[in-house]
Amino acid sequence: MATQAEQRYSILAVDDNRNALEIIKRILFRSGYEVITSEGVPDAVKILDKHRIDLVITDLKMPKHSGFDLIRYVSENFYDTAVIMITGYPSIEGAVEAIKMGADDFLAKPYTDDELMSVVRQSLERLETQRSAQNTLELEAYFGIVGSSKPMKKVFKLIAKAATMTANVLISGESGTGKELVARAIHYNSPRSSAAFVPVNCAAIPDSLVESELFGHEKGAFTGANATRTGFFEVAAGGTVFLDEIGDASQSLQAKLLRVMQNKEIIKVGSNQVVKVDTRIVAATNKDLLDLVNRKLFREDLYYRIDVIDIPIPPLRMRSQDVPLLTQHITAQLCEETGGEPMFFSDRAIKAMTAYSWPGNVRELENLIQKLSVTVDNNRVVIADLPRPMRFSIDHKIGLHRSLAAVENEHIQNVLASLGGNKTQAAKILKIDRKTLREKLKKIDSDN
Ligand SMILES: Nc1ncnc2c1ncn2[C@@H]1O[C@H](COP(=O)(O)OP(=O)(O)OP(=O)(O)O)[C@@H](O)[C@H]1O
Ligand SMILES: [Mg+2]
């Protein structure tokens, strides 16, 4: 079928008999498929990890490793690669066993060119159906926030609760965990949703402009005030002001914010008219606000006004089970934006991504997927396409003849690599103190 071949499916044929391989290769190649051949299971595994393979055709009886081993490997590691088993011993049990093991079809020797082609086409058609089904899989999302892990379910509950209340909210979490997304979800899920949601970056307002930015100014209020300006709080009247990076607010900004919260009124710069404001405040921080309070860097009175409803968002590494779902969501989103073909991730790639610690959280995952969409051929992401720290976390899992010390060393090095060498963070994740970490690293160094 020309349409299938036009898509350039990659097929890996595995047989210890070189002649048989040549025949398969010729038949498939003639039909326009890309064909890679391999004479044994270990070599086939290597090829699978490096190339994007749509279909594996494997002989059953081979010296050392049988076709069953390969079928099991493929079905455990590549959810969208089809497998056809070929055997010279056509037995029902063998066929049943192969299907149970994850093979998609079965071909008995001797077979004709047409028989081979028909089984190949059927398998690829099934694969295509399976792929489009995956695409339309229902996502577990709450106002665009994806997650099915326990910690995220808790966040969803808090959002729902916060949306029905008018109390101020403090969202805390590491950079890239989705704080702004949560703030928007609260607003758009609340009775205020028809009024404005106004994000204010507290770290970016120069002291000289604090009042004018927050409360607005009258024309001619100061040099350069050429026109009347509406402040953030007025724009957000009846709606929500999102005070992002509140931990970075200057002392003068803190003082002004406290005043609005206490009095619920503003005075435009250059005016003496007091205006009542009804604005809900949702703030976010990636810093430990209480720690800033203790260090006298953040006003305690302001802290207690903001931190009424507390929504902590856990870092992605604490909810790694969401990684596959997020990957799917972000991939689909990207696809919609660019109109490109959807990307598929091999199971091993997904496993490696799930095991990775994501110091940049969901934003880091977004950036990775964006990068992959440019660099990856055929829209199929295999483990070899991933950045080294991610590959590292899974590359060596296969080796079962390693000592505990070797596994520990490797884990320490992986964690460190994933954090760009940050020893303080690594020690925190490993739950050991920095001194112990230093000693362990010294030992690793001297052993190598
Ligand atoms: N659970 C999620 N589901 C879907 N997308 C998410 C999720 N969490 C974060 N994102 C996406 O990741 C990116 C970063 O999220 P966001 O900007 O909300 O993070 P943040 O916590 O505000 O980060 P920062 O502290 O750096 O400002 C955004 O593009 C957002 O859409
Ligand atoms: Mg943000």
One DSSP character per residue, 357-416 reads: --TTHHHHHHHHHHHHHHH-GGGEE-GGGS-HHHHHHHHTTT--S--HHHHHHHHHHHHH
Same domain as 167, residue 244? yes
Q: How confident is the model at residue 2 (pLDDT cuts 50, 70, 90)?
A: very low
Same domain as 324, residue 307? no
Alpha-carbon gap, residue 76 to 102, rounded angstroms = 8
Q: How confident is the model at residue 306 (pLDDT cuts 50, 70, 90)?
A: very high
* Contact call for residues 120 and 106 (beta carbons, < 8 A): no
Cis, peptide link before residue 110, omega less than 30° from 0: yes
pLDDT(93) > 60: yes
Alpha-carbon gap, residue 325 to 140, rounded angstroms = 8
E strands of 268-356, at which residues? 274-276, 280-285, 309-312, 344-345
CATH number at residue 63: 3.40.50.2300
369 alpha carbon, closest ligand? 1
| Ligand 1 center to 195 CA (angstroms) | 23
Please tell me which residue, 127 or 278, carries the higher pLDDT value: 278
Same domain as 369, residue 305? no
Q: Which amino acid is it at 134?
A: Q
Among 291, 312, 333, identify where a domain stops: 312
Same domain as 302, residue 165? yes
Same domain as 172, residue 275? yes
The model carries a pTM of: 0.64
| Ligand 1 center to 182 CA (angstroms) | 8
The domain of 236 spans 142-312
* Contact call for residues 343 and 373 (beta carbons, < 8 A): yes
Same domain as 344, residue 292? no
Q: Which atom of ligand 1 is nearest to the CA of 244?
A: 27
Q: Ligand 1 in contact with 178 (CB < 6 A)?
A: yes
360 alpha carbon, closest ligand? 1
Burial of 61 per CB tally in 10 Å (0-12, 13-18, 19+): middle
Q: Which amino acid is it at 254?
A: Q
Residues with Cβ < 8 Å from 384, sequence gap 6 or more? 49, 50, 391
Q: Which atom of ligand 1 is nearest to the CA of 181?
A: 18
Q: Which atom of ligand 1 is nearest to the CA of 180?
A: 18
Provide mean pLDDT across the span 389-394: 73
243 alpha carbon, closest ligand? 2
Domain count, the chain: 3
Residues with Cβ < 8 Å from 44, sequence gap 6 or more? 12, 14, 38, 56, 58, 70
Q: Ligand 1 in contact with 184 (CB < 6 A)?
A: no
Mutate to test the pocket of ligand 1, among 143, 170, 180 (most ligand atoms within 8 A of CB): 180
Same domain as 325, residue 301? no
Q: What is the pLDDT of residues 323-369, one digit of tens each?
A: 999 999 999 999 889 888 889 998 889 989 999 999 999 999 999 99
Q: What is the pLDDT of residues 262-280, one digit of tens each?
A: 999 988 898 888 889 899 9
**Structure confidence at residue 70 (pLDDT):** 93
Q: Which amino acid is it at 42?
A: P
Q: Ligand 1 in contact with 333 (CB < 6 A)?
A: no
**Structure confidence at residue 137 (pLDDT):** 42
Q: What is the pLDDT of residues 24-74, one digit of tens each?
A: 999 999 999 999 999 999 999 999 989 989 999 999 888 888 898 999 888
Put residue 361 in one of left, alpha, beta given phi > 0 → left and psi -120 to 50 → alpha.
Answer: left
User: Between the CA of residue 448 and those of 35, 111, 393, 443, what are the distances in Å?
Assistant: 41, 54, 20, 9
Q: Which amino acid is it at 299?
A: R
Q: What is the pLDDT of residues 128-170, one digit of tens each?
A: 876 665 454 444 677 889 998 888 988 888 888 788 788 899 9
